[in-house]
Amino acid sequence: MLGREVALGLIRRGHRVTAFQRSDAKALKASLGEQGRERLHQHRGDLTDPDAVRRALEDADAVVHLAAKVSVSGPWEEYEQANVRGTRVLLQLARRAGVRDVVYVSSPSVSHAGSAFMGQGNEPAEPDAARGSYARSKAYGERLALEADGEDFRVGVVRPHLVWGPGDTQLVERILERAARGGLPLLDQGAALIDSTYVTNAADAIVRCLERIEQAHGRPLVVTNGEPRTVGELLGGMCRAAGVPEPTRRVPSSLARLAGRVIEKVWERRPGEDEPPMTEFLAEQLSTAHWFDQRQTREVLDWTPEVSIDAGMERLREYYRG
């Protein structure tokens, strides 16, 4: 979803875009007119395959790196392969190919050690303190990206927080599926205050980072809508937009964290087809405040989000009505 919107934004600005991914970008092509489709080229492959990456980088002068394993479960080796080794391969080959500018898409979770974020800015990535394999692997990837930064190879880092929107299978669809079967509890009354980012706002910020790479390179920038809402409000809004019953079951966060720890151990031995219903990391995310100071991000990128949370919910409602 986010990659599609970034590619659309670049194509609409007149750029020629190569999409490097594991499958054809059918949704992206469907969003483009004939002229836009002429500016889109596709390569299929894996980030850890140097030959495939090298072919995708031919004639490129900039890279936006969004590919990652995104999940709350699974063996560390899978995260390390995609999010650390893949990032290393891409950075090395991009430099050799003569690419000048790179935007690495990270996550605020790279600096989350379990305590609340309440107005913090752009804290450094801490792999050893990061919670869960996804956050730890992204923290290592971000460090690689920033270590590669220099005047002749400029690397900007954008950390969009909790991206959502129509067609989202990572967050919105999982929330709706669990809510529909009564498996989505509100931890501590759903009172934790959190930031989120509507998808087109996140994409615009990533494109702005590329356009303003001279000002933005060499430091991480957290991106959000800047409209903190409670977990209960956000989950309820998404459920109402799709006509799914809102979550009403309330569970203490301490109990959810304990249950998540146990479920993770069971999942390691007997993994299910989907992600586990609860993990310790997920319980933390649903019960801990996460909202960020956006002043530096907006100043460096010369950017403000165009779509409010309420307007995004209305777009989500129109999507499900369709």
| DSSP H helices in 100-212 | 133-148, 172-180, 199-211
79 carries an active-site annotation: no
List the Cα angle 302/303/304 in 5-degree steps: 140
Among residues 134, 140, 198, 320, the one annotated as catalytic is 134
Place of tokens 């460090």: 143
> Which residues in 181-199 are b (16+ Cβ under 10 Å) and which e?
eeebbbbbebebbbbbbbb
Nearest to 112 by CA among 135, 145, 79, 133: 135
Q: What single-letter DSSP state applies at residue 218?
A: T
**Residue 82 CB partners (closer than 8 Å, separation 6+):** 47, 48, 67, 68, 69, 137
Q: Which two structure tokens, joined as six digits, stand for 4?
A: 């599609």
Q: Which residues are catalytic?
A: 134
